Amino acid sequence: HDEHDEHDEHDEHDEHDDKNHHSWLSIQHIQQFAQKLGDTLIQIDPKNKATYQSNLRKFSQKLTALKLSLQQQLSNHANQSLITFNSAFEHFIKSQQLKQIGSVSQRHGENLSIFKILKAKKIIQKQQTSCLLFTTEIPQKRINTLTEGLVINTAEIDIIGFDIQPGADHYFKLMQNITQKVEQCLK
């Protein structure tokens, strides 16, 4: 049994290295990335420094407004607990200060053991969890197995924005869509 626990901890530790793959789900990370990108562009092309700085300032203001809007939208649900299918939403949950009680699995594509399913069901019942978030690549059958017999809302969320028209507002629409789905799930 101890060996199994060590194995789980090791898996979780390995996963920490991969978690930044979803860093766009934190507006703060996007602001930092934009700043680094702007600095790099200015180094490469100093003649257009004023344009890069102006664009960065406008983008940063839009991001700040988005951040406030999303926080306001979710503020009524800060005490409601949610569980995620995997770690994909970690950056979003932390930045929105939502109450996450756990994650069913640690990695994408992981086959769930009966042990993990039962453990998640117990946690959901004990914590009176109102919402389960999962990404679009998780089969609905797997979600049904997990939620069978439980009273819990679920939200399938596209964290990439495949259905959103490409363009300057793609990121803003993506974050608004995610927030809307999370809010509906927490109701």
pLDDT surpassing 50 at residue 4: no
Residue 2 lies in a domain: no
pLDDT surpassing 90 at residue 164: yes
Residue 28 lies in a domain: yes
Residue 25 lies in a domain: yes
Q: What residue has token string 């769930």?
A: 112
> Tell me, what's the pLDDT at 114?
87
Residue 10 lies in a domain: no
Residue 5 lies in a domain: no
Domain of 88, CATH number, reads: 3.40.50.1980
Q: H or E segment at 131?
A: strand 131-135
Task: Give the β-pairing of 99-103 and 81-84.
Answer: parallel
Interval 7-23: pLDDT, tens: 333 333 343 444 447 89
Residue 68 lies in a domain: yes
Q: H or E segment at 135?
A: strand 131-135
The count of domains in the chain is 1
> Tell me, what's the pLDDT at 22?
87
160 three-state secondary structure: coil
Residue 164 lies in a domain: yes
The pTM is what?
A: 0.84
State the number of CA atoms in the 13 A half-sphere of 139 facing the CB: 7
Phi-psi domain of 135 (left: phi exceeds 0; alpha: psi -120 through 50; beta: other): beta
Q: Which domain holds residue 135?
A: 20-186
Residue 163 lies in a domain: yes
